[in-house]
């Protein structure tokens, strides 16, 4: 396992990333030129070696990523860390050419929510108001099912 300092050195070798100190001696690294609202590439890098890299819904990381599209890099070696950071930067730097996806979900009471894939995020709307945002379709679907909604056909 790489130390905090080793991870920091590797991350800071990417000139497009900007370091920001947060609480508990943790660090975030932002891609200020991100084409999307999401700018954090490396999140909550902690002196104990724990930290996360944002990969959104990249299929290569679907087994490792949590419902927010974050991969824990605690046990990553140098090559793995460099690769995932390169993938994350590319992910946030490229225009996405995809048809918009929208689904209507309805509760038993007749309340309808819209699930829309926008700017690499799965957003749940009640009317025009954003209720929740998720990194993957599965996470958004799980949330809606837990809240008692079913996909309208």
The Cα-based distances of 108 to 35, 94, 139 in angstroms read 38, 40, 21
Quick one: CA torsion of 27, 78, 6, 64, rounded to 10 degrees? Answer: 30
β-strand partners of 26: none
Q: Which of 63, 93, 123 is the last residue of a domain?
A: 93
105-147 pLDDT, tens digit each: 999 999 999 999 887 788 999 999 999 988 788 889 999 999 9
* 86 and 120 belong to one structural domain: no
Residue 152, C-beta contacts closer than 8 angstroms, at least 6 positions apart: 103, 104, 105, 106, 112
37-52 pLDDT, tens digit each: 889 999 999 999 999 9
* 122 and 77 belong to one structural domain: no
* 34 and 107 belong to one structural domain: no
Residue 22 has pLDDT above 70, yes or no: yes
* 139 and 123 belong to one structural domain: yes
* 9 and 84 belong to one structural domain: yes
* pLDDT > 70 in the chain, percent: 98
* 19 and 87 belong to one structural domain: yes
Task: Give me the domain span that covers residue 30.
Answer: 4-93
Alpha-carbon gap, residue 133 to 137, rounded angstroms: 10
52-63 pLDDT, tens digit each: 999 988 889 989
* 68 and 132 belong to one structural domain: no
């Amino acid at each position: 396992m790489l130390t905090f300092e080793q991870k920091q050195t590797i991350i800071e070798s990417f000139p497009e990333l900007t370091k920001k100190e947060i609480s508990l001696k943790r660090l975030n690294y932002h891609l200020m030129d991100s084409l999307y609202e999401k700018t954090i590439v490396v999140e909550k890098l902690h002196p104990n070696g724990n930290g996360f890299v944002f990969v959104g819904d990249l299929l290569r990381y679907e087994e490792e990523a949590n419902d927010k599209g974050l991969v824990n890099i605690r046990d990553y070696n140098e090559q793995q860390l460099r690769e995932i950071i390169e993938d994350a930067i590319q992910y946030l730097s490229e225009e996405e050419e995809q048809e918009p996806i929208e689904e209507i979900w309805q509760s038993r009471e007749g309340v309808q929510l819209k699930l829309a894939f926008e700017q690499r995020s799965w957003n749940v709307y009640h009317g025009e108001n954003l209720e929740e945002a998720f990194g993957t379709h599965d996470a958004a679907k799980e949330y809606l099912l837990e809240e008692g909604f079913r996909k309208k056909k």
